[in-house]
Amino acid sequence: MTPLTAVIYSFFFGILHGVLPDEHTWPITFSYAVGGASGREGMKAGLFFSAAFTVQRMLLSEIAYLALAPFLLNPDINGIVYLVVGIAMSAAGFFVIGKNRYIHLHLLGHHHKSEAEMGRSVSGLLSAHHHETPSGDKGVPPIRWTMIHGFIAGFGLGGFSLFVNTIAAPAMRSPWLGFLPGLVFGIGTMIALVVIGYLFGASLRWFRLSERAIQQIGAKTGGRTLFFGGILFGVFGIITLLGLDRNLPVDAGYVLITFFMLLVAVPAFIFTAREVLAAERIAETARETS
């Protein structure tokens, strides 16, 4: 393979890496983009994550050129990456869940408020109370935190990454160009994730919801997907280190991203949307009947 061909392939594989559901890209991009609750924040999430990812890929590509690829192909590397990514995700999710204060439903009223202050619900037994976040603070982790996730996640190896490290990087004819396949691979991933991040972030705007509901659903969904997704990553890290992933009929990465989307992301969004919207309806009824 010529250097030019290797670079071209690396770029297009990078785009595919961002577009196709992948355990190293979608979980973080989804969590932060939805948490930002806007297309602009989603684009920033994809951009910052992939920027750090690109830097890391450049380093790995150069290392691979210098004949250190066998170390990178150690199967334990992915297990360690899953564990570290999981810890970082759960830590960020814990921060979000602990920082946000949302509408809560209280049985028989709230012990800090009188019945007159709280208002009455339709049944007379339930009351709603708004717990506000500080003014201008949506209770989401800074988008720049995605750079930490991106750099860590970059150590994970999938099919496209293996091409960059074992075929494209060695095809470069100078150590000064060893980083190039990793650079263009990262740029391709960046282009795809910026678009996907925008779609994730703007998705809440497609529903006719109040600005308050959009921010609450976005922030709480983002926190929950980070926290529980981190636990899922940690479990898969242990499974990989124990070698149990070898019994799976498909690559563990595909199983992980499928579980993340079906068992964490989608349920978290549905549960949070129902929770916030139900609380808003009860609060509105309480205000109308008070």
Q: Look up the pTM and report it.
A: 0.73
By the 8 A CB rule, do 61 and 162 touch?
Answer: no
In order along its 290 residues, the chain shows pLDDT tens digits of 789 999 999 999 999 988 887 777 888 888 888 888 888 888 998 999 999 999 988 988 888 888 765 565 566 777 888 898 889 889 888 887 776 543 333 333 444 444 444 334 333 333 334 444 443 445 566 778 888 888 887 776 667 777 888 889 888 988 889 999 999 999 999 999 999 989 888 887 877 777 788 888 888 888 899 999 999 999 999 988 888 888 777 877 888 888 998 999 999 999 998 988 888 888 888 877 87
At a CB cut-off of 8 Å and minimum separation 6, what does 191 contact?
14, 15, 18
* Structure tokens, 283: 């609060």
By the 8 A CB rule, do 102 and 220 touch?
Answer: yes
Spatial distance between the Cα atoms of 175 and 61, rounded to a whole number of angstroms: 10
* Structure tokens, 262: 């079906």
Spatial distance between the Cα atoms of 187 and 10, rounded to a whole number of angstroms: 10
Helices (H), the chain: 3-19, 26-36, 39-63, 69-72, 75-99, 115-118, 146-153, 159-163, 169-171, 180-202, 211-241, 252-259, 266-289
Owning domain of residue 120: 3-289
85: amino acid identity, one letter:
V
Beta bridge partners of 106: 127
Beta bridge partners of 76: none
Spatial distance between the Cα atoms of 191 and 178, rounded to a whole number of angstroms: 22
Number of domains composing the chain = 1
